[in-house]
Amino acid sequence: DQQVKQNSPSLSVQEGRISILNCDYTNSMFDYFLWYKKYPAEGPTFLISISSIKDKNEDGRFTVFLNKSAKHLSLHIVPSQPGDSAVYFCAARGNRDDKIIFGKGTRLHILP
């Protein structure tokens, strides 16, 4: 039972353009959402997060949007850079919950 879904296994984007990674969730008890970036042979690295009381959080080139009614969030990267090529995991956490629930990831390729 996949509570956090990333339906696109991979995405290719031209360098300099906007990358949009999508994520859907099913559990309305989630109140904190995170994006992690992972390079091969390394552990996930925290990128950006958003609380369920907000609909947008921005950090430099990265912006996360949350649509609670649709149970959907997205990560925007603009402009996309070669170093952004990695696997991106959407993740969620419940209030007073310790575990993070991860999606299966989307592999982002930034094309020169």
Partner 1 sequence: NAGVMQNPRHLVRRRGQEARLRCSPMKGHSHVYWYRQLPEEGLKFMVYLQKENIIDESGMPKERFSAEFPKEGPSILRIQQVVRGDSAAYFCASSPSGTSGEEQYFGPGTRLTVT
Residue ranges that bind partner 1, judged by CB under 8 A = 4, 6, 31-32, 34, 36, 41-46, 49, 51, 89, 93-105
Strand partners, 59: 62
CB closer to partner 1 out of 14 and 45 = 45
CB closer to partner 1 out of 42 and 112 = 42
Long-range contacts of 46-54 (CB under 8 A, 24+ apart): 47/75, 47/88, 48/75
Supply the minimum distance, in Å, between the C-beta of residue 29 and partner 1.
11
Instruction: Say if CB 55 and CB 65 are below 8 A apart.
Output: yes
CB closer to partner 1 out of 8 and 45 = 45
Supply the minimum distance, in Å, between the C-beta of residue 14 and partner 1.
26
Supply the minimum distance, in Å, between the C-beta of residue 110 and partner 1.
21
62 CB contacts (<8 Å, ≥6 apart)?
35, 47, 48, 75, 76, 77
Query: What does DSSP assign to residue 22?
Result: E
Supply the minimum distance, in Å, between the C-beta of residue 105 and partner 1.
6
